[in-house]
Structure 1
């Protein structure tokens, strides 16, 4: 398990990431969540549905919640309502050390039928080559959604588009999970614009 110094560092990274995501329009004040594996525990954003919660961009490291791999709270308050999805991912993916869930502007517009027409620039096509998948519309915060996302993670997907909802990304580091989340929104925006331009 990582030391308390590492936990503090990771906590600050999560809070800084939330501020960045909010400023970039990837989350709203109460939506979106992040988690990072700390050895045998997971550090994650708290639930937005408690009376004393701060807005996502106001969170400090001490506001975060630490849970074990069974979802039992080790420290902090109530974890994100998407806890089942985060736990399910970590329990099937040993190389997944970070999960990021955004609610962008363009990404919820994409459907599975868009998979073959995604606008991927040359950097994405030939260098990063992320595995991108889609999950049909399901009710948020449910085990059905968690199970659907986990099936895609099992298939090796790193960017999972949730129809009419947002995006989940997984990686071995928080930095790369954030990179993939922002790239997912960029891909979605370019794809939507490409569709519109093709009709002019």
Structure 2
């Protein structure tokens, strides 16, 4: 992906996340891969609804900063996912209200309430609490790198995808499933046989 196009798409996606109330203020961080060894990530401390393309920070997979600006303090788990998963093209981490409502209670998201949850997300693990920006958090994310989406205890949510749109769509679906779970109360999930069938689609 051409760098400036990636910067534009990342800024647009940040605005969309903010407008859809999937993140607030400077919360969260998002990135998109632009080559095998480089990615663009949101800067630290900036309101996601106001970011401009030129503010995004270019980095390589060795952790070197290749442009102006200071990257998010959590850039290392983005870097880890890109290193581990060669087909990951984007990572989205934010603090959606319903996902965080579950995460502060250490309650996992039940993605098998609807077929879409199974198809778009699959199983969503609950990561143990780690200090934001810490190596412990990087290691915890890396240990769950095979999942499309994750909840972080007392923290937020994370999705990855082959494209920025796919990673965004998974975050939107994750928040929908969390909201549905909280509103539906004791609704039963799909039978295991149906989940297995959907998993093969």
**Bucket of the pairwise TM-score, normalised by the shorter protein:** 0.7 to 0.9
Question: Pairwise CA RMSD of aligned residues?
Answer: 2.1
| CA displacement at 1:119 relative to structure 2 | 5.3
In the alignment, is residue 71 of structure 1 matched against residue 63 of structure 2?
A: yes
Give the aligned partner of residue 47 of structure 1: 44
Q: Is the 8 A contact 1:26 1:102 kept in 2?
A: yes
In the alignment, is residue 8 of structure 1 matched against residue 4 of structure 2?
A: yes
Q: Is the 8 A contact 1:109 1:163 kept in 2?
A: no
Give the aligned partner of residue 195 of structure 1: 185
| CA displacement at 1:130 relative to structure 2 | 2.8
Give the aligned partner of residue 173 of structure 2: 183
SS of residue in 1 equivalent to 2:73: coil
Work out the number of aligned pairs and report it.
186
Q: Is the 8 A contact 2:109 2:124 kept in 1?
A: no
Q: Is the 8 A contact 2:14 2:48 kept in 1?
A: yes
Answer with 132-141 or 164-173: which moved more: 132-141
Give the aligned partner of residue 51 of structure 1: none
Distance 1:141 1:152 in 2: 17
| CA displacement at 1:11 relative to structure 2 | 0.8
| CA displacement at 1:103 relative to structure 2 | 0.4
Q: Is the 8 A contact 2:111 2:122 kept in 1?
A: no
SS of residue in 1 equivalent to 2:44: coil
Give the aligned partner of residue 134 of structure 1: 126
| CA displacement at 1:55 relative to structure 2 | 2.3
Distance 1:58 1:161 in 2: 26
TM-score (norm 1): 0.85
Distance 1:118 1:143 in 2: 29
In the alignment, is residue 148 of structure 1 matched against residue 140 of structure 2?
A: yes
Task: Say if 1:144 and 1:59 are closer, same or farther in 2 by CA, change over 3 A.
Answer: same
The gaps in structure 2 that reach 5 residues or longer are 189-201
Q: Is the 8 A contact 2:102 2:109 kept in 1?
A: no
Q: Is the 8 A contact 2:129 2:155 kept in 1?
A: yes
Distance 2:116 2:176 in 1: 13
Give the aligned partner of residue 48 of structure 2: 56
